[in-house]
Amino acid sequence: SEHHFSDFDKLEVLGHGNGGIVYKVCHRITAAIYALKVLNAGDPQSRRHAAREVEILRRAADHPSVVRCHGVLPAPSGDVAVLLELMDFGSLDSLQLRRQAQPIPEPALSAIARQALLGLSYLHSLQIAHRDIKPSNLLINAAGEVKIADFGVGKIVRRALDKCVSYVGTCAYMSPERFNPAAQGGAGYDGYAGDIWGLGLTIMELGMGRFPLLPQGERPDWAALMWAICFGETPAIPDSVEASPELRDFVSQCLQKDAAKRWTVAQLLDHPFVSGKDRASPELAVRELLVDLDCDSP
Ligand code: ATP
Ligand code: MG
């Protein structure tokens, strides 16, 4: 692209992760504002991860529910920077913090689910599994749009010679088949059903105001969590939490433990929780969540 790393002024840090640091930047010449994710490419493994993220971003950056990539720029000391559309309200996990963990009301939750499903439908149609769907990887903007971000552990399924058996990603949102591929007949998995699991858990968390698979207020016990995901009951919204039958059913179809029974994106897009006729403007429902929050202090 015609952009140069040195033409951008860093305004603030938007987030850090395993993949790199994300800055809010301003293009000095046009004054346009972007997010710039600087991917560490200092060692061979990081270089491979960065290359995969860049390749997926290049292929998949043309959908309203996927964060757009405006260019890939060489950065100092061999790192790679990707210029992304700025999502000015940050991620859904920061939204949850700013709302002090109040459950997100159902009209907005349905709108979030619908937009995430549209983004996943696009990715899956390109044979890309995201593999890390969780609140910190779903971003929102002032227009009320919700977009999928962070392809650090994504997988281009079609090209993969090996089955997709690996342990990258945050284990808290990983599906049973990801932990325990042998339980699924040793066939490995393509990752699409894992994206649905991550979405189901995300929607459940936002609807409850807390991560549902760990006891509240205690230090997470990762071994117990993994055990519960693999061998426990199918997660369900507790009766003590207010939720419509549609939301309860949506979550339970996403969280079918057996990946073969879990609903696909196409099935879920027809689910009454997201497909009702009052769901015409998903952005509007999300925007209502943002009115009390200040856009400049995510
Ligand atoms: P992790 O390993 O924690 O998932 P990562 O290094 O892979 O993170 P991202 O998830 O892409 O990086 O970004 C980290 C954080 O930076 C996000 O959770 C979000 O808060 C912020 N962020 C990323 N991209 C954008 C963007 N386009 N606009 C606004 N904020 C962003
Ligand atoms: Mg992330």
How much is the ipTM here? 0.96
Residues with CB under 6 A from ligand 1: 14-15, 17-20, 22, 35, 37, 67, 84-87, 90-91, 94, 136-137, 139, 149-150, 152
What does the pLDDT average to over 151-157?
A: 71
Backbone angles phi, psi at 73, to 5 degrees: -120, 135
Q: Given the CA of residue 18, which atom of ligand 1 is nearest to it?
A: 2
Residue 271 corresponds to which amino acid? H
Single pTM value for the model: 0.89
One DSSP character per residue, 83-120 reads EE---TT-BHHHHHHHTTTPPPPHHHHHHHHHHHHHHH
DSSP letter, residue 66? B
82, 53 Cβ separation under 8 angstroms = yes
pLDDT in tens, 260-273: 999 999 999 999 99
Tens-digit pLDDT profile for residues 4-45: 999 999 999 999 877 789 999 999 999 999 999 999 888 888
132 carries an active-site annotation = yes
Q: pLDDT of 173-186, one tens digit each?
A: 888 887 766 655 44
Q: Going by C-beta distance under 8 Å and a sequence separation of 6 or more, which residues neighbour residue 115? A: 65, 145, 146, 147, 282, 286
Looking at 132, 150, 190, 195, which residue is catalytic? 132
If you write DSSP's letter for every residue of 250-262 in order, what string do you get? HHHHHT-SSTTTS
CA distance 140 to 255: 24
| Better pLDDT: 220 or 118 | 118
